[in-house]
Structure 1
Amino acid sequence: MQHGDRIKVVRGIHIRVQHAYKNSILFGGVYGSTAIGRDTEFSDIEMMYVVKEGGPQADKTFLYRGIPIEVNLLPIARIHRRLAEPDLQLPWLMGNLAALQLLAGEEKQRRELLDTYSRLPDAAIARFFLAHGAEIAYESFNKIRSLPRRGNTRERELFVYEVVREIALALALLNRRPITRGYYAAVKESYEFPHIPEAYRELTETFIRAEEVKEAIEAGQNLLASYERFLQERGICVPRVETLDEVAW
């Protein structure tokens, strides 16, 4: 399926969504590679519609002539709740909103959501890291450290990607910036944030390029150490204990 054919599919979906949910849609359109004209004949099609509270909530996913189609129907109240209590996937959501090529609704409504994200209170960010900071990067990095004992080094690249992706998302949240690209491109996008750990780009690239598990472990330790210093300098607390009695059960 060529780009022109893909756009015809987008228009066909949009017409049907508008007909089915015309009284609920606030704004919506297409995002991803199809929206910016970088799709290939194998690319999926991703669409998103922000709807009124009480409107449709079930996403539509299906294969159309072998091409994956995803149509997200997202109640605006759910977005506001996520903005009030951020999570690690919020930068992805804001990135999808930022990249959305509008087919319905007004730009003002999208801009208001992105502006709210750009002004997330420090307290909301701090609550997220206090509750979930220990989940970011550490589990994935320890999987790399476990590889020699398990005798399986084939998964090294997968776990390296998990570490750098999670750190990139954490930095996006701290900077109140959306993530508009996918996979390793998202990590490179984080290099341009105004507030990043010392030598972040260099440490991350060294970690990604590591060809042996031992080299990856050393590079990952250096990256995590810089990331931890960065959090500490900004007063972000990730819970750490030495005894179970220190946990507030």
Structure 2
Amino acid sequence: MKNNLICFCLYGSTSRGTDTHWSDLEMLMITKEEVPKKAFLEGLVLVTTNSITEKRLCGILEEPGVEWPFYAGLLKNLVVLEGDASKPEKYYDLARRVPEEKFRRALKENLSELVFESCGRIFSCIARKRYEDIYCAVIETLLEMKTALCLLNCTHVNHDYFEGLQESFKFRKLPERYPVLATRLWRSRSPFGITKNSRELMRNYLYLLKSEEIT
């Protein structure tokens, strides 16, 4: 294993010092050859060791797709426990050197897989009166829109869920009223409010894509 290991790293809330008694322990192995993922319980704490080969990681970083924002943000916040401590910064440099045209191409190629189906599910839930399912569709829509906006802005966020969404509010290219509408949707429990804000956010998102000639 040691000959295969490039670096063994800690990430997530534990690496940032924001973990709690209930936080899982997340680790990443960057290797030369493939190694299976491992997970086990230490008491009630989930310990997960994910792995990725250097070749696949560099491919994701140099040729952006929907995985690029996740891995770029991951590399920014890794703590190396064993192996070559200089590697994460070198990988992150690869991510930062990607030209804008590659991000735009990635967004165009993945556009149909992001936001549209999830947003449609919001209105399907309302039409079927499955109000208990609306909130899941809202979260999916917002997280997918965050990914699309990361690609449009050639950048990433450093956190998950609402904290990561808040980071995206600072991007340069955003749908009109995106911080307000996204916050309302995340916090809303009213089908009427969700319907109104979803329609406006989607309309503004489409206008942004059109203005950026992303179709």
Shared fold by TM > 0.5?
yes
Q: Give, in angstroms, the shift of residue 155 of structure 1.
A: 1.4
- Structure 1 counterpart of 2:192: 214
SS of the aligned residue for 1:154 comes to helix
Instruction: Report how many aligned residue pairs link the two structures.
Output: 215
User: Structure 1: which amino acid aligns with 2:22?
Assistant: F
Greater mean alpha carbon deviation, residues 160-169 or residues 28-37: 28-37
Q: 1:150 aligns with which of 128, 131, 135?
A: 128
Q: Give, in angstroms, the shift of residue 107 of structure 1.
A: 4.6
- Tell me if the contact between 2:8 and 2:29 (Cα under 8 Å) persists in the aligned partners: yes
Unmatched runs of 5 consecutive residues or more in structure 1: 1-20, 238-249
Question: What is the root-mean-square deviation in Å for CA atoms of aligned residues?
Answer: 1.9
Greater mean alpha carbon deviation, residues 80-89 or residues 186-195: 80-89
- Tell me if the contact between 1:63 and 1:69 (Cα under 8 Å) persists in the aligned partners: yes
* 1:45 and 2:16 aligned: no
Mapping 1:66-215, distance limit 5 Å:
66-215=44-193
Unmatched runs of 5 consecutive residues or more in structure 2: none
- Tell me if the contact between 1:28 and 1:100 (Cα under 8 Å) persists in the aligned partners: no
Superposed CA deviations along residues 78-132 of structure 1, whole A, max 9, x for unmatched, are 0122234322232112212211111134454222221222232333223323322
Q: Give, in angstroms, the shift of residue 167 of structure 1.
A: 0.7
Change (3 A) 1:159 1:33: same
Superposed CA deviations along residues 171-224 of structure 1, whole A, max 9, x for unmatched, are 122223233211121111111223323322112123223332232122111112
Change (3 A) 1:198 1:151: closer
Q: What is the distance in 1 between the residues matched to 2:152 and 2:120?
A: 24
* Runs of 4+ with >4 A deviation: none
SS of the aligned residue for 2:64 comes to coil
Q: Give, in angstroms, the shift of residue 163 of structure 1.
A: 0.8
- Tell me if the contact between 1:191 and 1:201 (Cα under 8 Å) persists in the aligned partners: yes
User: Structure 1: which amino acid aligns with 2:28?
Assistant: M
- Tell me if the contact between 2:103 and 2:154 (Cα under 8 Å) persists in the aligned partners: no
Q: What is the distance in 2 between the residues matched to 1:203 and 1:157?
A: 15
TM-score, normalising length from structure 2?
0.90
Change (3 A) 1:225 1:149: closer
SS of the aligned residue for 2:131 comes to coil
- Structure 2 counterpart of 1:26: 6
Query: Which has the larger Rg?
Result: 1
- Tell me if the contact between 2:8 and 2:83 (Cα under 8 Å) persists in the aligned partners: yes
Q: What is the distance in 1 between the residues matched to 2:152 and 2:85?
A: 25
The percentage of aligned residue pairs carrying the same residue is: 27
